[in-house]
Structure 1
Amino acid sequence: MWRGRDVRRRADLSRPARAGILLVALVLLALAGCAPSADPGQALVCRTALVALHPNGTRIEVLREVGDADARGVAVDYRVAEPGVPPRRARTACRFAGERTVPGGGDLVSVMVDGEALSPMRLFMLERYWTGRGADAAASAPPRPSALVGEGLPLGRGGVQALQVGLAALTTGSLYGLLAVAYSLVYGLVGRIFFAFGEIAIVGGYAVAIGVGVALAASGLAGEAAVYAGLGIGLLLAPIATASLARLLAQGVVAPLAHKPGHAMLVASFGLVIVLSEGLRLVQGGSEIWIAPGRVRGLVLATNPDGGLATITLTQGAAIVLALAGALAAIVLVAGSRFGRAWRAVSDDADAAALMGVDARATLVGAVTLAGVLAALAGWFVVAHYGNISFAGGLMLGLKALVAAILGGIGSLPGALLGGLLLGLGESLWSAFLPGAYRDVAVFGALALLLALRPGGLLGDAHPGVQRV
């Protein structure tokens, strides 16, 4: 009897308890439903960024991911153990331009690590060169990146790869060919190499970077539009700066040494490379100058069934067109203008040209000035396509262009352009299928073999006589 009443009493008392437990569970479920959930794509981008924000060898354990209420950000709480430092909890918050499904929403606009924001430069480097890979892999069938437009041609995997490799070859090849034509303009007249055009191109690149800075600071535009406006300003400033510099060097160095015996021209041009490089370092600083174009708009050229893309950006396309147009314009100018007739006359026989009233010195100064304008276009190319400029970049750029000129037959303007395109193709093929660390070894080794077999290059004389350097 008492036992039955006790059981019933316990049963009666358990009913409100069960009701309370059910009420608490419902409240917790409601709160969980109200808490913002992290967007999978944004969370993956932010997790990808964690690796770049800590030193090599760091162990990271993600604890939770919380989305912002406006669906424009995600915060990742994690445990981090950096080398030589006790483990600790950390929090990284990533903010995006908008929802991932909105055009432009995937752009990373800020990153906070334990409440401290990354600098604009670190954010740009992180967004452009690191987290983009994670953003593209956010889902098994991710939406097309908002920065790309067009559907492209449907091709197989090999077709897309071949198209992308060919585009890379055209990009670097047009840059090398442009500067190679500048070298050939001078060598074709005096038979000597003036090696400073690589560094003159860097001067033009700094002029472009200054133009971008002016546009960002003074215009009412913002972001990508301001960068495009700055590149337009730089396209006006750079030729003025480099043409003036090249003309000064032509009158003060090239013309006086053009017909001196020995290697005075080559030694002087190497000295000018050092002077210009160190001068830029002292005036502009030793660090690289970066422009921040964000996600530059691009065009999809081809796609494959696996989701691979062959793309080209607007600045890349503009750089290729400008480089090829500049090189071809110089070739046409030499082939059909009054200056070109004087250039060819001095190149063939300077003494006979002088007897016919052609001013060889003025022709040489004009050729060096024109080569300086081509170098300005090369500097614009570097800033617009690669997004940065450095005082130390002229030496290797000039050396590659000189290799292209020799490959095509130095002194031949069409040969210089052809040599640049072939050099770009060789580098791109090697980088696509073979270890990139040995690329320059293969390029310069092939050049040595070519010169041993055909010293005049592809379009030069097969058996040239003694050449002046």
Structure 2
Amino acid sequence: MDYALQQFANAVPLSALYALLAFGYALSVALTKRADLTYGALFAFSGHAFLLGAHAGWNILFLTFAASLAAGAVLTLALVVPLSVLIGHRIAAPLSAVSPNAFTVASLGLLLVLMEGARLASGTQELWLPPFLNQGIAIMPNLASPVTSTVLQLVNTGAVLILLVSAAVFVALSRWGRNWRAVSEDRLAAELCGVNSRAMFTQTYVLSALLAGLGGILATMHYGTMGFGAGLIFGLKIVLISAAGGHLHPWRAAVGAAIFAFGETFWSAFAPMVWRDAALISLLALLLVITRQQKPMA
């Protein structure tokens, strides 16, 4: 029982991260209506940019460790924001209007470009951050085997929850959120009511990319590194998780992603880890086949 509670505590930071990524992904896919692998690539690219910036701050600029982390975060956002504007305005908006399936193909191409760009920029070397804020804190100290977490896990979880709740409130209550819902439901009708749908595509993609970028920074701080293949793995996971939870509804997608994270953690604890991704992704695919909505025949 104590071991299961510890695994539950371990799953909370991962579930918060997955929920944030799924929420951001659902914002953009609600407009494009097609799978977007670029989102996972932006997440992984942000992690690599953060590592490169932090290492440059420490080894070249001789900054303190905290200042090096800040430099990495600034570099990441400075790269992700222009990239998201370019993708949203020049690729997502026009391709979604002309041929939605073409956007899925373009997203695969963008994924390869971002992954290879990150690999070449780091010289095909995996960079690592030194452990920090890894002091253990007993969450349930009265058990035979106390349930513990680390300072960094708690900080990351709190930061992710703040981002998630802030984004949800902004989408739910702001005028921008109303325009986003209008374009996601009927792009042409929204344009007839005076909403600039192309601008909404760009702004939505920027917001989604910011959530992915901040998630990449927090994940890299948590794990200490970011693998070169993480863009494809996370891109596929987020596409399937969000679709299972309801990819047109950000909160449903976030809840589905959080549940998936708990399943992933408990599989790692109680089952062979080598089969984890294959089994859970297959389960998600089966769930989509069973629950997908059939369109009526014309």
Does residue 268 of the first structure (1) align with residue 141 of the second (2)?
no
Query: Which of 41, 44, 57 is matched with 1:202 structurally?
Result: 44
Q: TM-score when scaled to structure 2? A: 0.90
Task: String of CA shifts for 1:397-442, please: whole Å, max 9, x gaps.
Answer: 1211222201211111001110110110111121222222222232
Amino acid paired to 1:417: A
Query: Which of 421, 431, 442 is matched with 2:279 structurally?
Result: 442
Cα separation, 1, equivalents of 2:187 and 2:35: 17
Does residue 341 of the first structure (1) align with residue 171 of the second (2)?
no
- Aligned residue for 2:260, secondary structure, equals helix
Pairwise mapping of residues 309-324 of structure 1 onto structure 2 (< 5 A)? 309-324=146-161
Pairwise mapping of residues 35-114 of structure 1 onto structure 2 (< 5 A)? none
Task: String of CA shifts for 1:288-321, please: whole Å, max 9, x gaps.
Answer: 1111126732322234665x34322222222222
Q: Which gives a bigger RCO, structure 1 or 2 (Cα 8 Å, sep 6+)?
A: 2
- Aligned residue for 1:388, secondary structure, equals coil
* TM-align CA RMSD: 2.1
- Aligned residue for 1:311, secondary structure, equals strand
CA contact (8 A) 2:133 2:150 kept: no
Structure 1 residue 219, shift from structure 2 partner = 5.4
Does residue 367 of the first structure (1) align with residue 204 of the second (2)?
yes
CA contact (8 A) 1:407 1:416 kept: yes
Higher alpha-carbon Rg = 1
Query: Which of 251, 263, 269 is matched with 2:89 structurally?
Result: 251
Amino acid paired to 1:230: S
Corresponding residue of 1:412: 249
Does residue 403 of the first structure (1) align with residue 240 of the second (2)?
yes
CA contact (8 A) 1:186 1:193 kept: no
Cα separation, 2, equivalents of 1:220 and 1:369: 30
Cα separation, 1, equivalents of 2:122 and 2:138: 37
* Cα 1:341/1:384, change in 2 over 3 Å: same
Cα separation, 2, equivalents of 1:232 and 1:314: 18
- Whichever structure has more helix as a proportion of its residues is 2
Task: String of CA shifts for 1:180-210, please: whole Å, max 9, x gaps.
Answer: 1222111111312221111111221123223
Count the aligned residue pairs: 295
CA contact (8 A) 1:201 1:242 kept: no
Cα separation, 2, equivalents of 1:232 and 1:297: 21
Structure 1 residue 350, shift from structure 2 partner = 1.3
Amino acid paired to 2:169: V
Unaligned runs of 5+ in 2: none
* Cα 1:229/1:398, change in 2 over 3 Å: same
Corresponding residue of 2:289: 452
Corresponding residue of 1:94: none
Structure 1 residue 454, shift from structure 2 partner = 1.5
* Cα 1:258/1:303, change in 2 over 3 Å: same
Pairwise mapping of residues 144-293 of structure 1 onto structure 2 (< 5 A)? 158=1, 160-217=2-59, 218=61, 221=64, 226=65, 228-261=66-99, 263-293=101-131
* Cα 1:289/1:381, change in 2 over 3 Å: same
Cα separation, 2, equivalents of 1:208 and 1:310: 31
What percentage of aligned pairs have identical amino acids?
35
- Aligned residue for 2:256, secondary structure, equals helix
